[in-house]
């Protein structure tokens, strides 16, 4: 993919659509396009956190695994979703596995360089972290609904601190 078509992809993507062109140019300098076949891992839980991915087409499942308990899908992600955000929080390891459900195209950003861009340009960093916070909120909500589905919605029979 040429730089101009990669720039158009960033510009037209819901995650980056409100970023000014100079910020998109900075992103372009650390971006590369990647492709994965169906049923292929993009990254694996507990691996070193290196890249941040923006899905541009296809679907992937985010999965967590626990020894002896097996694996559970948290949610599916698709075009416009950001995954592998651990490097943005300076976390050394990934917290889940991303496995493709269908063929996936994505833009991979070098995590260390992306964090450096945020540190060097606070306006860019604020905008990126604000968008990332929205992603984290969606993930927390997905896990919340998983807990509701597993444990139900009954309130405990003990007084809560908020009572």
> pLDDT for 109-149, tens place per residue?
999 999 999 999 999 999 999 999 998 888 788 777 777 76
In a domain, 130, yes or no: yes
According to the model, what pLDDT value does residue 136 have?
A: 87
Number of domains in the chain: 1
In a domain, 62, yes or no: yes
Q: Taking 80 as the threshold, does the pLDDT of residue 24 lie above it?
A: yes
In a domain, 150, yes or no: no
Q: Taking 70 as the threshold, does the pLDDT of residue 41 lie above it?
A: yes
Least confident piece of the model among 37-41, 85-89, 131-135, 151-155? 151-155
In a domain, 158, yes or no: no
- Provide the 3-class DSSP secondary structure of residue 113: helix
Q: Place 1 in a pLDDT band, splitting at 50, 70 and 90.
A: low
In a domain, 155, yes or no: no
* Percent of the chain topping pLDDT 70: 90
* Percent of the chain topping pLDDT 90: 63
DSSP at 155: P
According to the model, what pLDDT value does residue 142 have?
A: 77
Q: Taking residues 28-57, what's their average pLDDT?
A: 96
CA distance 44 to 32: 19
According to the model, what pLDDT value does residue 71 have?
A: 86
In a domain, 162, yes or no: no
The rounded mean pLDDT for the chain is: 89
**What CATH number does residue 45 fall under?**
2.60.120.10
In a domain, 10, yes or no: yes
Smallest CA-to-CA distance from 84 within 118, 104, 110 is with: 110
CA distance 55 to 102: 12
Q: What is the pTM of this model?
A: 0.85
Structural domain of 137: 3-143
In a domain, 157, yes or no: no
Q: What b/e readout covers 67-97, taking b as 16+ CB neighbours within 10 angstroms?
A: eeeeeeebbebebebbbbbbbbeeeeebbbb
């Amino acid at each position: 993919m040429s730089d101009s078509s990669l720039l158009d992809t960033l510009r037209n993507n819901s995650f980056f659509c409100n970023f000014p062109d100079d910020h998109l140019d900075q992103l372009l300098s650390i971006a590369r396009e990647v492709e994965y076949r169906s049923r292929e891992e993009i990254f694996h839980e507990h691996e070193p956190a290196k890249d941040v991915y923006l899905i541009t087409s296809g679907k992937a499942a985010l999965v967590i695994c626990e020894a002896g308990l097996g694996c559970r899908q948290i949610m599916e992600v698709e075009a416009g979703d950001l995954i592998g955000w651990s490097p943005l929080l300076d976390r050394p390891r990934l917290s889940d596995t991303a496995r493709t459900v269908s063929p996936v195209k994505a833009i991979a950003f070098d995590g260390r360089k992306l964090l450096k861009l945020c540190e060097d340009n606070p306006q860019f960093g604020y905008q990126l972290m604000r968008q990332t916070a929205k992603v984290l909120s969606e993930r927390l909500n997905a896990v919340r609904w998983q807990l509701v589905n597993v444990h139900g919605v009954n309130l405990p029979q003990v007084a809560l601190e908020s009572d």
